[in-house]
Amino acid sequence: MIRASRQQAVLALVAIAALLAMPWLVTSDYYINIATQIVIAAILAMSLNVLVGFGGMISLGHASYLGVAAYLTIYLSTHAGVGALGSALIAIGATTLLAMLFGYLALRASGLGFLMITLALGQILWGIAYRWASLTGGDNGLGGPIRPRPFGIDLMNPTAFFYFTLIFLVLAVWLISRFVQSGLGQSLQGARDQPRRMRALGYNVWLIQWLSFVFAGFWGAIAGMLYAYYHQFVSPQALHLTTSAETLLMVVAGGTGTLFGPVVGAALVVILKNVVSAYITRWLMLLGVVFVAIVLFMPEGIVPGLRRLRETMKMRPASSAEASLPAAEERTT
């Protein structure tokens, strides 16, 4: 256990160093922008993973928090004349309040019912954004130059903005890992595995799950604020079921219940999406095919799935002891 966490810490440091060095390694704005997209998607996927991976609650409405925070951030600063910091704080606060309400409603059910309620609530939000054109701009969306200038730093510069989002990713990794190890996070995992036993032990399972839901919504809102800054535009697409599904795919693809799985998943999905859109327009089709393929062939996610594949590849040629040794070592993570 100690070894595993040290290994993870080393891995995290290496990853962060690589990300910090990124703008020196690639000089093209195009790639830096993709890296920024990955960072934002990673924050969103990590927040959903609190529910899916650690809580066992599959939400198909996580785009709600991304979209609502993005709409509020842009609306407040371009239409309501609120300052940049004020817009961001109000947007995140209001979105967290929304998560409180949605969490209350969705947690009236569990399992499939939870999934259905989150999906329905998310699509109703999408419908509001789409139809309430006088407020949201309808299908045309809302936009405007809203990237702030904190301490006089010009965030219109892609590299500067990349570092800006990276700060939030580091914060998210740190605070979400703290959350997972905390008493609340541990009891959330207990409630995932043995809800009745946890109840019998005197834990308020509902409250644990609700607080986690709100926590996830809060980080979803942070991702939404960054999304608004990055695109400087938001349309109903940000709230749509496909966005929720993409986020869930990041979590499932990377491996649920691991801290870094969603980050890997976010990178895979964003890169795939950018590469594919450059050649064909069939992203939705591919998204569907990937979903079906992952469920059928790699139900445990790409990262653990590849590890399993590699292990079976290693095992197959040799039935001797030397083949089984490295496989045993990998179990520590």
Interface residues with other proteins (CB under 8 A)?
A: 58, 60, 105, 108-113, 115-117, 119-121, 123-124, 127-128, 130-135, 240-242, 245, 248, 252, 282, 284-285, 287-292, 294-296, 299
Nearest distance in Å: CB 94, other proteins: 16
Question: DSSP secondary structure string, 103-165?
Answer: HHHHTTS-THHHHHHHHHHHHHHHHHHHH-HHHH-GGG-EE------GGG--TTSHHHHHHHH
Considering beta carbons, is residue 44 or 115 the nearer one to other proteins? Answer: 115
CB-nearer residue toward other proteins: 121 or 172: 121
CA dihedral defined by 196, 200, 201, 207, rounded to 10 degrees? 60
Closest contact distance (angstroms) between CB of 32 and other proteins is 30
Shortest Cβ distance from residue 295 to other proteins (Å)? Answer: 5
Contact (Cβ atoms closer than 8 angstroms) between residue 71 and residue 201: no
SS3 readout for 6-45:
HHHHHHHHHHHHHHHHHHHHCCCHHHHHHHHHHHHHHHHH
* Rounded Cα–Cα distance for residues 15 and 166 (Å): 12
Nearer to other proteins (CB atom), residue 86 or residue 113:
113
CB 220 within 8 A of CB 47: yes
CB nearer to other proteins: give 48 or 115.
115
Distance CA 306, CA 253 (A): 11
Helix (H, G, I), strand (E, B) or coil at 298: coil
Q: How far is the CB of 55 from other proteins (least distance, A)?
A: 13
Q: Which two tokens mark 333?
A: 């993570």
- What's the min distance (Å) between Cβ of 4 and other proteins? 27
Whichever of 14 and 124 has its CB closer to other proteins, that residue is 124
- d(CA 27, CA 169) in angstroms, rounded, equals 21
For the bound state, the minimum distance from the C-beta of residue 57 to other proteins, rounded and expressed in Å, comes to 10
Min. distance of Cβ 303 from other proteins in angstroms?
17
> Is the Cβ of residue 144 or residue 288 nearer to other proteins in the bound state?
288
Q: Which two tokens stand for residue 170?
A: 């580091």
C-alpha closest to that of 59 among 241, 272, 286: 241
Residue closer to other proteins by CB (options 64, 165) is 64
